[in-house]
Amino acid sequence: MNSELYLDANATSPVLPAAIEAATAAMHSCFGNPSSSHAAGLRAKALLDGTRALARRVLGAASGRVMFTSGATEGIQTAVLSALCAVRERRARGEAAGELLLYGATEHKAVPESLAHWNRVLGLGLELRALPVGRDGRHRLEVLRELAPRAAFVCTMAANNETGVVSDLDGIAAVLQETASPALWMVDCVQALGKLPLQLDRTRIDYAPFSGHKLYAPKGIGLLYVREGAPYTPLMCGGGQEAGQRSGTENMSGIAALGAVLKALEEGGTFRGHGQLQAMRERLAASLVAAFPGLEFNAPLAQTLPTTLNFSVPGVSSKELLDVFDAAGVRVSAGSACSASKAAPSYVLDAMGVANACSASAVRLSFGPLADDAFIDAACERILRCGRALFATRPAARLQQLESSGASGWLLFDEAGAECIAIDPPAALAPRIAAELRARGCRLLACFDTSIGSGGADALAESMNLTAGWPGQGAGIALGEDLLVQRGEAFLFGRARDGVLDPGAVRFVFGAAPAEGVAGATLCCHRAGEPAVSRPGCEPLPDEGIDLDAVSAAAYLESHPDALLVDVREFPEHSAGAARLHGRAAQHVPLSQLAGQAAQWLDQPRPLVFVCRSGNRSARAARTLRRLGHAQCWHVAGGLALAG
Ligand code: PLP
């Protein structure tokens, strides 16, 4: 297994050792309730007050409110509620309060969602309006100038979490001033702490939420700054803690840990400075450019946090890139962590006008100011390894599945991998397939859609200077010693004897329906659905009980020496980091080549344990084999991610 290089600091960070110590000490010896009047409570109160004073110094906020929250989402919520209640009061007094709730189009979802929620709950009927950003990711100040006089509340961020774009806060403040806007102003400072200078007292910012877990404090602790005189309405009422501003017994271990981080910021010496971080990022950027030809950065580096890179590799999806990075032990993300599990393209890049193709390939790499040169050296080396893995020529297989948006096409190769036939190739994959065949020096003999195909053959044929369509010779197409022939709407592939297909040696059937008289060992390759292959006349076995956790999988392999551990990740991932389970090396059969290999496993059954990155693809592999009638197959639930 590769050691883990964590380059997803904008999602969250590890916890500073001094913060862990401070939290532990707070739980051990300073566990009192700061509201209690006895000595234990007074000690906790001293810790609370000391940390607040420290926060004031670090944030440059000698005046105004500085309170502890559970994180930035709560801080944002409180700011929105406070601003909207103030608007309601102004309206009730007949004062001009504005009617627009303006938020930066690249704002974290916590902002527009909270605005919509409280606008609805309070029944204000204000209009939510996204403030557009330019191609550089910065707010369009000319639009703000136009809207500011009508704005009731303006929400912008200090730096964007996906792209690292640093906002022009002075420019925004100047526009609000010049236009005599009645708006209150919130600046989400989550990504700024420890990376950008802060002097909140000297700004006209009304509300500034912060989150501890973005800068080496644990999750569940944050800060909210409220300017002296800015309207305030508590979100939580009860015991009157935090001077009645935020009720609920304080998270003392979190506060102690955040205090340790703030202390490190104040004293200096722990975190790298801006110049050092910039130099580190330059090295990472240079490695990325060297590793991935054609790579583009999605935001101008001069205007972004020195710890963030957002890039795209033309023709390679975010998912593929992430899988390769993950296999190499490099943890990066495709956008914000909150949207990582959703397939939606990045709204941040969309708002910047980044082309769809680029946004579909975007990856965010971010590190924290604790990084050192050894870490950056290791990251640069791994990045280069990922590039080599991604562009290395794949070993040939007889049958390769081409999957795109739930539809499957197929590539059939001769034994040497020198010639091939494409059946129902998905149009979206045409450029990739063409590039790969060229890189392998493989000749495309024919490219056609069956009657159930989705019509992608034309796209591939065009990229390969070929005419799409079944060539139509009566004898079929020869591929080495094998033959592909048409029988009605089905296409049969197998060994040829005296120039004709041997009916007893048909290996694969493509197209509409299995032809009659096909032997039980034949696999039918489908265009859609799961499993992608089936056996005519075979009673599928149920999928229940295919899950093994990593420990049971290792025990199973130990007690079954004939069992095979199979890594079904795709070739670049395997190449970036081979799979092992408790010291046992895996044989590599990518999911896209499973159908071709399945025939052999069915001929000579042996126990199979599939593994992949997260357990999804290995579960599909095990289900496919079970449905083909192979009883002894399992997969490692949770994948290599949980097996480490
Ligand atoms: N704002 C920004 C810019 C963020 O990056 C995040 C975290 O993802 C949040 C707000 C929400 O912070 P928290 O997780 O502390 O609620």
The backbone torsions φ and ψ at residue 534, rounded to the nearest 5 degrees and listed phi first, read -145, 165
Amino acid identity, position 423? I
Which strand (E) or helix (H) includes residue 644?
none
- What pLDDT, on the 0 to 100 scale, is given for residue 335? 66
- Domain span at residue 601? 547-643
Q: Ligand 1 atom closest to Cα of 212? A: 15
CATH number at residue 596: 3.40.250.10
The share of the chain scoring above pLDDT 90, in percent, equals 80
Range in 127-131, 394-398, 610-614, 617-621 with the lowest mean pLDDT: 394-398
Q: Which residue has the higher pLDDT, 579 or 256?
A: 256
User: Does position 1 have pLDDT exceeding 80, yes or no?
Assistant: no
Amino acid identity, position 495? R
- What pLDDT, on the 0 to 100 scale, is given for residue 514? 61
Answer yes or no: is the C-beta of 71 below 6 A from any ligand 1 atom.
Answer: yes
User: Does position 489 have pLDDT exceeding 90, yes or no?
Assistant: no
Same domain, 258 and 313: no
- Asked, for residue 171, whether it belongs to a domain, the answer is yes
Same domain, 192 and 52: yes
- What pLDDT, on the 0 to 100 scale, is given for residue 250? 97
Same domain, 69 and 214: yes
Cross-sheet strand order for the sheet of 222-226: 65-69, 222-226, 207-211, 184-188, 151-157, 100-104, 127-131
Q: Which residue has the higher pLDDT, 475 or 212?
A: 212
Answer yes or no: is the C-beta of 333 below 6 A from any ligand 1 atom.
Answer: no
Same domain, 137 and 202: yes
Task: Write down the pTM of the prediction.
Answer: 0.89
User: Does position 357 have pLDDT exceeding 90, yes or no?
Assistant: no
Same domain, 363 and 404: no
Q: Ligand 1 atom closest to Cα of 10? A: 5
Same domain, 133 and 70: yes
- Residues 602-628 have a mean pLDDT of 94
Q: Ligand 1 atom closest to Cα of 110? A: 10
| Mean pLDDT for all residues in the chain | 93
| Tally of domains within the chain | 4
Q: Ligand 1 atom closest to Cα of 160? A: 3
Answer yes or no: is the C-beta of 73 below 6 A from any ligand 1 atom.
Answer: yes
- Per the omega criterion (within 30 degrees of 0), is the bond before 182 cis? no
User: Does position 342 have pLDDT exceeding 60, yes or no?
Assistant: no
State in Å, rounded, how far the first CA of the chain is from the last one: 7
- Asked, for residue 169, whether it belongs to a domain, the answer is yes
Answer yes or no: is the C-beta of 222 below 6 A from any ligand 1 atom.
Answer: yes
Q: Catalytic: 189?
A: no
Q: How far is the CA of 160 from the centre of ligand 1 (A)?
A: 10
User: Does position 581 have pLDDT exceeding 90, yes or no?
Assistant: no
Cβ-contact 329, 297 below 8 angstroms: no
Look at residues 336, 365, 391 and tell me which one is the last residue of a structural domain.
Answer: 391
Q: Which of 30, 85, 189, 338 is catalytic?
A: 338
- What pLDDT, on the 0 to 100 scale, is given for residue 323? 94
Q: How far is the CA of 108 from the centre of ligand 1 (A)?
A: 7
Same domain, 142 and 163: yes
The DSSP bridge pattern shows strands 482-487 and 477-479 to be: antiparallel
Answer yes or no: is the C-beta of 112 below 6 A from any ligand 1 atom.
Answer: no
User: Does position 336 have pLDDT exceeding 60, yes or no?
Assistant: no
Q: Kindly state the tokens that stand for 639.
A: 């994948």
Listed in sequence order, the residues at least 6 apart from 450 whose beta carbon sits closer than 8 Å to its beta carbon are 423, 424, 489, 491, 510, 511, 512, 527
Q: How far is the CA of 305 from the centre of ligand 1 (A)?
A: 16
pLDDT per residue over 258-309, tens digit each? 999 999 999 999 999 999 999 999 999 999 999 999 999 999 999 999 999 9
Confidence grade of residue 519 (pLDDT, cut at 50, 70, 90): low
- What pLDDT, on the 0 to 100 scale, is given for residue 515? 56
Q: Cα dist. 252→25, 234, 429 in Å?
A: 10, 20, 54
